[in-house]
Structure 1
Amino acid sequence: MTTTTADIAALLDGRPDAVALVESRKGASRTTRRGELVRRCHRIALALREAGVRPGHKAVVMTRDAHDLTAVSYALGLLGAVPVLIEPRAEVGRCLRDVAPDVFIGEPLAHLGRRALGWGRPHVRVALVTGSAPLPAGRRLLTRTRADGSRLPHVREPGGDEPALIAFTSGSTGRPKGAEYRRSTLAGQLDALTTLMGPRPGDVLLAGFLPVALLGPLLGLTTVAPAVNHLAPARTPPEELVGPVLEHRASIVLASPAVLALIARHCARHGVTLPSVRQVLSFGAPLRTGLADALRGAVPDDAEILSVYGATECLPVSAIGDHDLRASRAAPPAGHAGTCLGRPLPGVRARILDADATGLGEIAVTGPTVSPAYHARPDADAVTKSDTGHGVLHRTGDLGRIDDEGRLWFLGRKAHLVTGAGFTLTTEDIEATADTAPGVRRTALVGVGTAVCQLPVLCVEPLPSTPHAAALAAVRAVLREHPQGHRVGALLIRPSFPTDPRHNSKTDRMRLAGWAAGRLRGRIR
């Protein structure tokens, strides 16, 4: 596949009557067919050009409407402009200072924030409002009326591997950074996702993460965007997820573990099954076997459940099925504690840098899915990027090993190592074991105290139905079977962990460590 954003119209022109995108909101669906999407993109591109948008302009697109996000981003690509996607709950002002956008396109709420907080000032020269709600003195970008038959004005053909998209990281592991995707990066991602999903005629993708709505139609998939609460995905009403799967007979479900847990719990509670689903892809955090078991109760026996590893800067990298995941947990190779991530996808190469005597080091990746640079962040590039004979090598910040079968193993983030007196603990090594304790939703290992003499503290989030004392007893029991379990100096119950804003699946360890320090005041050395 050689797909680029400049080829959007050609991609979508085939099968004009096929459904491209469905937005499902509170029992109502809004459908756009492929031919209609092409016409809408052309009309929006005309409007953007008339408003002053030109090739090379950086255009922030901030809307929770899947149709508007997709059509506007495609239209910008047709013009040769560069869409910029920023997490709504990230440090938006700082992100906009980094990117210095020429254009700001968004729903009224985003513009209110822009005006009140000075986002993008003084760089934004073109500001356009999407949606139907009025905004005083706002210039509307009409995205929902019918095309008038006008043709897209001539724009120059892209010259080489030009910038195609800037996607900001969520900020869950540090200051948000804008990962630059070039035309080849998007093409590589589409190739990798095609390999991963193996799309079939008639497949329907449920996109539990809004930006996936951009890629689904380009993969030839009918893409359903459910009413996920994008500011707090784990608080999404589960019927807003399960209902669209059943109504539109979704065959592929792509979501974070937090969203997949909502689906699994709803199905178990109400005795619902999802007979149309042939594949589940879990993104954003490691898939635990307990959640995989719960999903197994909702999907057909022959359905594939995949845990997919990657990051905004390199997505996807590898994948592992739930059956292989269980087998790896039951009999890990010697010295390979942690969580197995599977083998790298075709064309992706993984290396372990700065490895110790056990082979533990930082996971680094090369391949067509790797973002070549951060936008306007040479400091971050200097730390994480280097040129190799196989392209740009990206340091992920994740700790891991590669076993004799070529499989990646994840041990946690470098920044989250817990260093005690004469020992070091990786978070995933301890948590992958502790999370198997009955009655426990998840655990998180944090270090409290000075950097070289930390007290390892394991925070425990029990299931709502589990008494706190029972949860702690269960965790203690499984830790006794772990060779490093005796290093854990304290167990603390926390009914709900702070998590990342994008997926609600990664624990915010800085906040959790601060909370634990307050609870253990007096025990900190």
Structure 2
Amino acid sequence: MDLLGDPAGDAPEAIRMDGRAVSRADLFARAAAVAAEIGGAEAVAVHAVPTVETVVAVVGGILAGVPVVPLPPDSGPAERDHILGDSGARLLLAARDAWDPADGGPPLVPVDALPSGTSAPPSPRPPDDATALILYTSGTTGAPKGVQISRAAIAAGLDALAEAWKWTAGDVLVHGLPLFHVHGLVLGVLGALRVGSPLVHTGRPRPAAYAAAADEHGGSLFFGVPTVWSRVCEDAASAEALRRARLLVSGSAPLPVPVFDRLAELTGHRPVERYGMTETLITVSARADGDRRPGHVGTPLPGVETRLAADDGSPVPFDGETPGELQVRAPMLFSGYLGRPEATAAAYTPDGWFRTGDIAVIGPDGWHRIVGRASTDLIKSGGYRIGAGEVENALLAHPAVREAAVVGTPHPDLGEQVTAYVVADGVAGQELIDFVAERLSAHKRPRVVHLVDALPRNAMGKVVKSRLGEGAGKSA
């Protein structure tokens, strides 16, 4: 089976998005026109707003065998320029009115202005090991890295999830997640197309929109990040509507146990949790027909191997108590960081296991529980993974800032919020928040800035982030 299944499927509606419904045949016909336009390009960027044109553009890139680089619509100039330059994208795909030429970038291909082509995919079909997507993920230091994901990796990951979640063409998938990450794009769009299930994208993941999709469109499979499910729990009427669903899936960050319990009480569904990264796609999950345990992310998917390692590399037992770094081997792993062979090599152990950087506990029965991050520099806020180093670099670009350290601190809705400790002269905290928001994606801006006289450092001069809250100064 091709990555996206049969282009001529008989579903009258493949995608419902931004108030429009598109059949599978029409979607692939429009995508074929895109494929004809971009064939041979080194890579193409897609302005990843939640519209039909974005899906057409991504599918067109996959049909053409051209790597697709989703561009977050809220990217600041520095982040956008880095992604476009680092990826080698030679064209930008977007609707005619969705991209401001003043923002620069490569030549625009107006997806909505192309005549529909044939629904037949280009020939020959791209090889399975060809890169389908280049997704940019925030590292803990420096600029984001391009994660190359092959067609074979995507197919393996989606097939494993379809088996685990009993996901079939008879489902109607509902979500309102961004289309530039694994959760919303790979699982939430490509997964629906590969399985053949219609997708209803709600634009934003609001509880009332999820409830309406359950009532009006027969939504049976719902995706959300913990923030979404937390908000559903605050809206009893919307939660009641989700009793009609078959499965609720939570991911991108740990689901707090109280939210798990409250969601089960209000909807009648114990949510399925799963674990993965941009580099690995989804490797561990609970099952639709199995147990679902609060605070746990399940067991390895078919074809996935996991192990725990101590700081010295020695094995950690699966005793349900001893933590270790989670390492994985799987067919859905990435092909490497674009243009960064040294970073790619460093991400693997000498014997070929991927180092996730997450700390986990595994029980004798194989159930996994993620207990923390090997580093304090990856912040999970509202389902996003945010690299502290990237935000620190943005703060340090302000002429008044002398030092900056960024951490995640608890937030009742987002899970974690971006909190900055800054040594600066003559500048207010809100000005620094706005300064970062102008340069990076809006969700990466600090929500709190503490202006301090100095940052705590050890004898080697390294900031001790565990002591950042001691004696914090004025906040904004």
Same fold (TM over 0.5): yes
1:296 aligns with 2:256: no
Which of residues 322, 328, 333 is equivalent to 1:365? 328
Following superposition, the deviation at residue 79 of structure 1 comes to: 1.8
Structure 1 regions of 5+ residues with no counterpart? 131-140, 229-235, 327-338, 418-426, 429-445, 447-456, 464-497
1:84, 1:167 within 8 Å by CA — same for their partners in 2? yes
1:87 aligns with 2:68: no
2:286, 2:292 within 8 Å by CA — same for their partners in 1? yes
1:348 aligns with 2:304: yes
Following superposition, the deviation at residue 364 of structure 1 comes to: 1.5
In structure 1, what is the equivalent of residue 342 of structure 2? 379
Write the mapping of 1:136-175 to structure 2, written as runs, cut at 5 A: 141-142=112-113, 147=116, 155-159=123-127, 161-170=129-138, 175=143
For 1:150 and 1:342, how far apart are their aligned partners in 2?
42
Write the mapping of 1:27-176 to structure 2, written as runs, cut at 5 A: 29-46=19-36, 48=37, 53-55=38-40, 57-89=42-74, 91-107=79-95, 111-112=99-100, 115-116=102-103, 118-119=104-105, 124=106, 126-130=107-111, 141-142=112-113, 147=116, 155-159=123-127, 161-170=129-138, 175-176=143-144
Percent sequence identity is 25
For 1:35 and 1:294, how far apart are their aligned partners in 2?
41
For 1:286 and 1:252, how far apart are their aligned partners in 2?
19
2:137, 2:146 within 8 Å by CA — same for their partners in 1? yes
Structure 2 regions of 5+ residues with no counterpart? 180-184, 317-321, 381-387, 389-406, 414-435, 456-466
* Residue type of the alignment partner of 1:226: T
Q: TM-score, normalised by structure 2?
A: 0.71
In structure 1, what is the equivalent of residue 12 of structure 2? 18
Q: Deviations over 1:17-76 (max 9, x none)?
A: 4321111x4xxx311112222222223333x1xxxx223520011131332122111112
Q: Deviations over 1:111-137 (max 9, x none)?
A: 43x744x54xxxx3x42234xxxxxxx
Q: Secondary structure at the match of 2:189?
A: helix
Q: Deviations over 1:350-374 (max 9, x none)?
A: 1223446875332111111111201
Following superposition, the deviation at residue 13 of structure 1 comes to: 1.6
2:12, 2:24 within 8 Å by CA — same for their partners in 1? yes
2:168, 2:196 within 8 Å by CA — same for their partners in 1? no
2:271, 2:292 within 8 Å by CA — same for their partners in 1? no
Which of residues 216, 220, 239 is equivalent to 2:196? 220
Q: Secondary structure at the match of 2:243?
A: coil
Residues 317 and 152 (structure 1), Cα distance of their counterparts in 2 relative to 1, 3 Å cut = closer
For 1:507 and 1:394, how far apart are their aligned partners in 2?
30
Following superposition, the deviation at residue 253 of structure 1 comes to: 0.3
1:280 aligns with 2:221: no
For 2:441 and 2:286, how far apart are their aligned partners in 1?
22
1:258 aligns with 2:227: yes
Q: Secondary structure at the match of 1:368?
A: coil
For 1:157 and 1:306, how far apart are their aligned partners in 2?
35
In structure 1, what is the equivalent of residue 276 of structure 2? 310
In structure 2, what is the equivalent of residue 409 of structure 1? 369
Residues 153 and 318 (structure 1), Cα distance of their counterparts in 2 relative to 1, 3 Å cut = closer
For 2:191 and 2:83, how far apart are their aligned partners in 1?
23
Flag the structure with more relative contact order, 1 or 2, with Cα contacts below 8 A and sequence separation at least 6. 2
2:153, 2:332 within 8 Å by CA — same for their partners in 1? yes
Q: Secondary structure at the match of 1:18?
A: coil
For 1:412 and 1:71, how far apart are their aligned partners in 2?
38
Residues 18 and 502 (structure 1), Cα distance of their counterparts in 2 relative to 1, 3 Å cut = farther
For 1:89 and 1:78, how far apart are their aligned partners in 2?
27
For 2:166 and 2:189, how far apart are their aligned partners in 1?
17
* Residue type of the alignment partner of 2:42: H
Following superposition, the deviation at residue 270 of structure 1 comes to: 6.5
For 1:174 and 1:320, how far apart are their aligned partners in 2?
34
For 2:69 and 2:355, how far apart are their aligned partners in 1?
23
Q: Secondary structure at the match of 1:398?
A: strand
Q: Deviations over 1:443-480 (max 9, x none)?
A: xxx9xxxxxxxxxx9955458xxxxxxxxxxxxxxxxx
1:344, 1:350 within 8 Å by CA — same for their partners in 2? yes
For 1:398 and 1:309, how far apart are their aligned partners in 2?
11
Following superposition, the deviation at residue 308 of structure 1 comes to: 0.9
1:41, 1:75 within 8 Å by CA — same for their partners in 2? yes
Write the mapping of 1:313-332 to structure 2, written as runs, cut at 5 A: 313-320=279-286, 324-326=292-294
The structure with the largest alpha-carbon Rg is 1
Q: Deviations over 1:78-114 (max 9, x none)?
A: 22211112333452222222212121112467643x7
For 1:270 and 1:254, how far apart are their aligned partners in 2?
15
Residues 172 and 32 (structure 1), Cα distance of their counterparts in 2 relative to 1, 3 Å cut = farther
For 1:153 and 1:214, how far apart are their aligned partners in 2?
16
Residues 274 and 152 (structure 1), Cα distance of their counterparts in 2 relative to 1, 3 Å cut = closer
Which of residues 194, 209, 215 is equivalent to 1:240? 209
For 1:21 and 1:461, how far apart are their aligned partners in 2?
34
